[in-house]
Structure 1
Amino acid sequence: MTWKLYEIDRVAQELTLKFRDKDVLGESHKMRATTAYGLERFWGEHLRLGQKQQDKDKADFWKATWDALCKIMKQAGITIPNDKVTSDTGSIQSMSEKLWAFDIEQRKIALAILIELCDSLVWWTQRYKKPNNGR
């Protein structure tokens, strides 16, 4: 077995810089807290936020973080469901069912990586947030 570098911290830094000017970095703290509730709830948060136009940047930050997790896990040989979802109930239900059926051992690994990713997001948020911004 060889060591593989997944660059979780670097991914978090890139996400933080990408969303720094959109006044959404405070979402990283909410992301970290949401990891306690599992992959399904973390994934669904971008849908909730996407319902309001004023929260679109927040929704995009959550979705970009989910996509980054999926990419990291794919490098590790674990494919997390990540269907393109529309606002229709059937689309959401289909993706939710895939997440609920996701292998328990792979789920544990993915959740551990998500926690690490969110911890790194919080760290970079604290370094890069703008004054009176990014709460």
Structure 2
Amino acid sequence: MAWNSYGLDQEAQKLVLAAKLRDQTSLKQSYKMRMAVAYGLERFWGEHLRLQKNQPNKSQYWQETWDVLDRIMHKAGVSLPNDQVNADDVKGVQAMSEKLWKMDLADQRVALAVLISLCDCIVWWTQRHK
């Protein structure tokens, strides 16, 4: 099987440019995203919830990044949970977290590897568009 980049670089640039159009300060989230990957899928996914009420542009950037990851993983044949959840919906947050924790370990590892690469691309484009 040949390497497939799944358009990570192009998707990253689209994310960065959309964030830049919304709010320049959102771009700083790119570096935080890359650092957050080390804590796993559930924590990365949940970060948009923390920002939802007080920093909606930043929250949107995180959510859009997760949505792109979801689309890429779907192309790769991996099902990634992506329930739309509000921060105040405790049961929804819990259900989504459990779905992430119950993912097949190999699928988790692949998703994390792709997320790392996607975030690396996002950081690169952020540095070019600041």
TM-score, scaled to structure 2: 0.93
Q: Compute the displacement of 1:10 (Å).
A: 0.6
Question: What amino acid maps onto 1:77 in structure 2?
Answer: G
Higher Cα radius of gyration: 1
Distance 1:36 1:44 in 2: 14
Distance (Å, rounded) in 1 between the aligned partners of 2:106 and 2:48: 25
2:100 maps to which residue?
99
For 1:113 and 1:5, the matched residues in 2 are separated by: 9
Q: Indicate the structure whose relative CO is greater, using CA pairs within 8 Å and at least 6 residues apart.
A: 1
CA distance in structure 1 between the partners assigned to 2:4 and 2:122 by the alignment: 21
* C-alpha displacement of 1:4: 3.8
Give the aligned partner of residue 64 of structure 2: 64
Cα distance per residue 1:30-61 (max 9 Å; x no partner): 00000000000000000000021xx1000000
Aligned pair in 2 of structure 1 residues 122, 3: CA closer, same or farther (>3 Å)? closer
In the aligned structure 1, how far is the partner of 2:53 from the partner of 2:101?
23
State the match for 1:80 in structure 2.
80
Which contiguous aligned blocks of 4+ residues in structure 1 show a shift greater than 3 angstroms?
1-5
Per mean C-alpha deviation after superposition, the further-off stretch among 17-26 and 56-65 is: 17-26
In the alignment, does 2:11 pair up with 1:11? yes
The CA RMSD measured in Å over matched residues stands at 1.1
TM alignment of 1:1-135, pairs within 5 A: 1=1, 4-21=4-21, 22-23=23-24, 24-52=26-54, 55-86=55-86, 87-129=88-130
Question: Could you state the TM-score of these two structures normalised by the residue count of structure 1?
Answer: 0.90
Q: Distance in 2 between the 1:15 and 1:79 partners?
A: 21
- Paired residue type of 2:34: R
- Gap change, CA 1:3 and 1:31, over 3 Å in 2: closer
Q: Which runs of 5+ in 2 are unaligned?
A: none
Larger proportion of helix = 2
Q: Equivalents in 2 of 1:3, 1:35: separation in Å? A: 22
Give the number of equivalent residue pairs. 127
In 2, the alpha carbon distance for the partners of 1:65 and 1:100 equals 19
**Paired-residue identity, %:** 51
